[in-house]
Amino acid sequence: MKSNQEAVKKDTALRAALVTTAVCAALLAARGLHAQEAVENAKAAAIPIPHGPVQMTISMNPAPAQPANTMQSAAARGPACTRTQSEQSTVVVPVGKSTLMQTAEPVRNRTLGNPLVAQATMVSPQTLYVVGMAVGTTNMIVQGKSGACEVINVVVNADSGGLQTSLSQLMPDEPNIRVSTVAGDLVLAGRVSSAQAAAQAQEIAKAYARSTLPAANGGTNGNGGAPAKAATVLNMMSVDSPQQVMLEVKVAEVSKTVLNQLGSAMNIQGGFGSWSGALISSLLSGVQSIAAVSKANNRPFNVAVDGQHGDDLVKILAEPNLVTLSGQEATFLAGGKVFIPIPQSNLNGVSTIILQEEEFGVGLKFTPTVLAGGRINLKVAPEVSELSSTGVTVGATNTNNLTVLPLITTRRASTTVQMNDGETFAIGGLIKSNAAGTLKAIPGVGEVPVLGALFRSTSYQQDRTELIFIITPHLVKPLQAVANLPLPTDRLKTPNEADVYLLGNMEGRDPAGSRKPAPPMPAPTPSPAMAPAPSQPQAPAAQPASEPPVSAMVPTPAAIATPLPEPQVSTPAEDSKPAYEAAAHAAQVEANAAQIAARETLPADKPRSPSARAHN
- Please name the helix (run of DSSP H) or strand (run of DSSP E) that holds residue 35, with its range, or none: helix 2-40
Helix (H, G, I), strand (E, B) or coil at 383: strand
pLDDT of res. 263: 74
The amino acid present at 560, given as its one-letter code, is: I
Whether 37 has a pLDDT exceeding 60, the answer reads no
| Per-residue pLDDT tens over the stretch 499-557 | 888 887 777 665 544 444 444 444 444 444 444 444 444 444 444 444 444 333 434 43
Q: Which of 173, 240, 155, 169 is nearest to 208 (CA)?
A: 169
The pLDDT score that the predictor gives to residue 564 is: 39
- The stretch 13-29 carries a mean pLDDT of 75
Angle, CA 360 vertex, CA 359 and CA 363 arms, to 5°:
100
pLDDT at position 569 is: 40
**How far, in Å, CA of 545 to CA of 267, rounded?**
75
Phi, psi for residue 386 in degrees, rounded to 5: -150, 165
Can you point out the beta strands (E) in 48-126? 83-84, 89-94, 98-102, 107-112, 118-124
Hey, do 85-157 and 160-216+230-239 end up sharing a CATH topology, with the first three levels equal? Answer: no
Q: Which residue has the higher pLDDT, 564 or 471?
A: 471
Banded model confidence at residue 231, pLDDT cuts 50, 70, 90? confident
- What's the CA angle centered on 42, arms 36 and 45, to 5 degrees? 130
**Average pLDDT, integer, range 89-116:** 86
What residues contact residue 470 under an 8 Å CB cut-off, 6+ apart?
249, 250, 252, 424, 425, 426, 427
Q: What is the pLDDT of residue 19?
A: 75
Lowest mean pLDDT among 2-6, 136-140, 286-290: 286-290
**Domain 85-157, CATH 3.30.1490.20 — does that match?**
no
Q: pLDDT tens, 380-437?
A: 999 888 888 777 777 666 666 777 778 888 888 899 999 999 999 898 888 888 899 8
Per-residue model confidence (pLDDT) at position 9: 76
Contact 406, 356 (CB under 8 A): no
pLDDT of the residue at 248? 92
For residue 50, is pLDDT > 50?
Answer: no
Q: At what angle do helices 195-211 and 160-170 cross, to 10 degrees?
A: 130
Domain range list for the chain: 1-41, 85-157, 160-216+230-239, 248-395+402-476, 531-562+575-616
79-93 tens-digit pLDDT: 677 777 777 888 888
DSSP sequence for 548-565 = PPHHHHPPPGGGTSSPPP
Instruction: Residue count of the chain, please give it.
Output: 616
- pLDDT-derived band at 614 (thresholds 50, 70, 90) equals very low
Supply the pLDDT for residue 472.
92
Q: Is the pLDDT of residue 473 over 90?
A: yes
Looking at residue 584, its pLDDT comes to 64
Which of 29-43, 284-298, 401-415, 461-475 holds the top average pLDDT? 461-475
Q: What is the pTM of this model?
A: 0.46
pLDDT band at 146 (very low <50, low <70, confident <90, very high): confident
Could you tell me what percent of the chain has a pLDDT over 90?
5
Of the chain, the percentage scoring pLDDT greater than 70 comes to 62
At 430, is the secondary structure helix, strand, or coil?
Answer: strand
Q: What is the DSSP letter of 512?
A: T
Q: What's residue 596's pLDDT? A: 65
pLDDT of residue 163: 86
pLDDT, mean over the chain: 71
d(CA 386, CA 336): 9
Range with lowest mean pLDDT among 299-313, 347-361, 400-414, 469-483: 299-313
User: If you average pLDDT over residues 566-585, what whole number do you get?
Assistant: 47
Pick the CATH number of 160-216+230-239 from 3.50.50, 2.60.40, 3.30.1340, 2.60.120: 3.30.1340
Distance, CA of 199 to CA of 308 (rounded, Å): 65
Nearest to 512 by CA among 548, 486, 545: 486
Q: What is the pLDDT of residue 575?
A: 43
Residue 123 has pLDDT above 60, yes or no: yes
pLDDT category at 283 given cuts 50, 70, 90 is low
Position 2 scores a pLDDT of 57
Q: What is the mean pLDDT of residues 447-458?
A: 80
| Per-residue confidence (pLDDT) for residue 417, from 0 to 100 | 92
Segment holding 21, helix H or strand E: helix 2-40
The larger pLDDT score, comparing residue 198 to residue 285, is at 198
pLDDT tens sequence across 158-217: 888 888 888 889 888 888 899 888 877 889 999 887 777 888 898 998 888 887 665 555
Q: What is the pLDDT of residue 379?
A: 92
Give the highest mean pLDDT range of 118-132, 215-229, 571-585: 118-132
Q: What's the confidence (pLDDT) of residue 143?
A: 85
Q: Is the pLDDT of residue 56 over 80?
A: no
Contacts of 157 by beta carbon, 8 Å cutoff, 6+ apart: 92, 93, 94, 95, 135, 181, 184
The answer to whether the CB of 239 falls within 8 A of the CB of 192 is: yes
